[in-house]
């Protein structure tokens, strides 16, 4: 087996190779003056089981294009099997036609991944479906892994929690909250969210007393931070003690970090599916375990 690091996941790919004790393939990259990209593997891939690690986060178009080139080239160079680890699955949020005439970007990128030659896909806390369900958009084997338990364990190990409760900021986060709560033996539940526009949401608290308790908010993505900010302010109004804003994918658009801290979070904790300043938890062990199964 050989591990190929995509440009967006170099550190994570290295950690996965260490976990698996397998070689990392050196990759030469160039950018042409017109913006086109060039990729070259500096090692022979013939008859190898290849694992490419590439999150298709910002800039998604460029990261996707590099991924397509790498899959196709690995196949063309004689790799026996090409497995794609896409910890953050860009374009997955447009999983249906919400308005007439819209392009369903998830379907398009899934077709492109398959036609490039991917034999198997691994992703994490895949937005359109709940935890551990197989992404249905693929005809090839595909696996949806989760980091919600790792996030909760990280908070428990690093902070002195007082009577903690794990909450998902909306109904879609129910399973992530459950998994995280069970991992640390804490109560868990989820809030109800109504989206008003792309940045503004309205959130209501479930029937749970948060007064004086530490709260772990667990979600798949922090993008604009609007969801977390509303949830945190509501928790603070209800006299919660410390609030930890946890997510698998720290997309962090605009002033998300500053806004969440201003809303009253004690800490913001993410994973390295997207390499960011809050990527304190590595998903490498989960990926390595899945690849070995
Ligand atoms: C929505 O259903 C997702 O699970 C996240 O709650 C959402 O993507 C977060 O976005 P934002 O940070 O922009 O509120």
Does ligand 1 come within 6 angstroms of the Cβ of 56? no
Q: 133 pLDDT band (50/70/90 cuts)?
A: low
Condensed to tens digits (0 to 9), the pLDDT of residues 213-247 reads 999 999 999 999 999 999 999 999 999 999 999 99
The CA distance from 173 to 74, in Å, is: 36
Closest residue to atom 2 of ligand 1, CA basis: 172
Candidate from 170, 176, 227 with most ligand 1 atoms within 8 A of CB, to mutate: 227
- The answer to whether 148 and 281 have CB atoms below 8 angstroms apart is no
- The answer to whether 15 and 24 have CB atoms below 8 angstroms apart is no
CA 133 to chain centre: 15
Query: 193 catalytic, yes or no?
Result: yes
Instruction: With a cut of 60, say whether residue 131 has pLDDT above it.
Output: no
* Percent of residues in the chain assigned helix, strand, coil, to nearest 5: 30, 25, 40
Condensed to tens digits (0 to 9), the pLDDT of residues 71-129 reads 999 999 999 999 999 999 999 989 899 999 999 999 999 999 999 999 999 999 987 76
Condensed to tens digits (0 to 9), the pLDDT of residues 158-186 reads 999 999 999 999 998 999 999 999 999 99
Does ligand 1 come within 6 angstroms of the Cβ of 230? no
User: pTM for this one?
Assistant: 0.93
Strand segments (E) across 119-214: 120-124, 142-145, 165-168, 187-190, 192-195, 201-204
**CB neighbour list of residue 292: distance below 8 Å, 6 or more residues apart:** 20
CA 55 to chain centre: 8
Percent of the chain at pLDDT exceeding 90: 88
Of residues 26, 69, 23, the one with CA closest to residue 48: 23
Instruction: With a cut of 80, say whether residue 198 has pLDDT above it.
Output: no
């Amino acid at each position: 087996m050989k591990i190929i690091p995509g440009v967006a996941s170099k550190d994570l790919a290295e950690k996965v190779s260490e976990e698996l004790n397998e070689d990392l393939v050196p990759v030469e990259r160039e950018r042409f003056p017109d913006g086109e990209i060039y990729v070259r593997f500096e090692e022979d891939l013939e008859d190898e089981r290849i694992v490419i690690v590439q999150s298709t986060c910002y800039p998604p178009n460029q990261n996707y294009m590099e991924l397509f080139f790498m899959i196709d080239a690995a196949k063309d160079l004689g790799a026996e099997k090409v497995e794609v680890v896409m910890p953050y699955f860009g374009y997955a949020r447009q999983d249906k036609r919400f308005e007439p005439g819209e392009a369903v970007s998830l379907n398009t990128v899934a077709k492109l991944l398959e036609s490039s030659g991917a034999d198997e896909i691994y992703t994490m806390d895949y937005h359109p479906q709940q935890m551990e369900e197989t992404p249905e958009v693929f005809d090839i084997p595909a696996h949806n892994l989760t980091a919600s338990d790792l996030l909760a364990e990280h908070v428990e190990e690093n902070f002195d929690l007082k009577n903690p409760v794990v909450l998902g900021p909306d109904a879609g986060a129910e399973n992530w909250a459950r998994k995280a709560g069970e991992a640390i033996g804490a109560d868990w539940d989820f809030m109800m969210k109504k989206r008003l526009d792309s940045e503004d949401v309205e959130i209501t608290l479930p029937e749970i007393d948060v007064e004086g308790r530490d709260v772990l908010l667990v979600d798949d993505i922090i993008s604009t931070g609007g969801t977390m900010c509303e949830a945190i302010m509501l928790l603070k109004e209800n006299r919660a003690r410390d609030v930890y804003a946890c997510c698998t994918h720290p997309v962090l658009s605009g002033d998300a970090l500053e806004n969440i801290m201003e809303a009253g979070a004690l800490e913001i904790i993410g994973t390295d599916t997207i390499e960011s300043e809050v990527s304190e938890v590595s998903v490498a062990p989960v990926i390595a375990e899945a690849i070995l199964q």
